[in-house]
Amino acid sequence: MQQVEERQAVRALILTPDRETLLFRLRPPGETRCFWIAPGGGLDHGETIEDGLKRELREELGLVEFRIGALVWRRHHTFDWGARRISQREEYRIVEVARFDPVMTDEVEAQNVVEHRWWPIAELGEVREPLTPLSLPAILARYLAEGAPDPVPPEEVLIDDEPTR
């Protein structure tokens, strides 16, 4: 059985005044399938959620001027990334900013990014490839209609099948 790497992560659900959100289309190492995911990633050792999100958005988007908003979703996802099996606990935070042109400075991260796109939130239900999290359209629609959830919904647990090797 493959050893599982435990890690903490944080992602930004970036919202513009025009009700758009920024997502990355990723292709995992060695795979042909793609999926859409919010910017963010794993925390470095000893890093806080806030510091980790600031670092990730600077590296992935060139975004440095923003305020970290409400926690709206939590997820515990176990998945494969290349040869690694990862068990990742994630927080999803709202970041409200004006639309901007992302500039990725992290070359390692860029290897798996096929594209980025500003999606109108109303069109997220029409995305043909998987969204991460799967309930992203509902999460964002609920936030726009009702504000930050109180309490935050229970942690979503998702375990991808472990491939036979």
Q: Rounded to two decimals, what is the model's pTM?
A: 0.91
Task: Kindly calculate the radius of gyration of the chain based on its CA atoms and give it in whole angstroms.
Answer: 15
Contacts of residue 61, defined as CB under 8 A and 6 or more positions apart, other chains included, come to 22, 39, 100, 102, 103, 104
The residues spanned by each domain of the chain are 4-159
φ/ψ of residue 20, rounded to 5: -115, 155
SS3 108: helix
pLDDT tens per residue, range 85-105:
999 999 999 999 999 999 988
Contacts of residue 43, defined as CB under 8 A and 6 or more positions apart, other chains included, come to 7, 8, 9, 10, 49, 52
pLDDT tens per residue, range 51-77:
999 999 999 999 999 999 999 999 999
pLDDT tens per residue, range 111-164:
789 999 999 999 999 999 999 999 999 999 999 999 999 999 999 999 988 655
**4-159: which CATH topology?**
Nucleoside Triphosphate Pyrophosphohydrolase (3.90.79)
Instruction: Name 92's bridge partners.
Output: 11, 73
Outline where DSSP puts E strands in the chain.
4-15, 20-26, 35-37, 40-42, 68-81, 84-96, 113-120, 131-132, 156-159
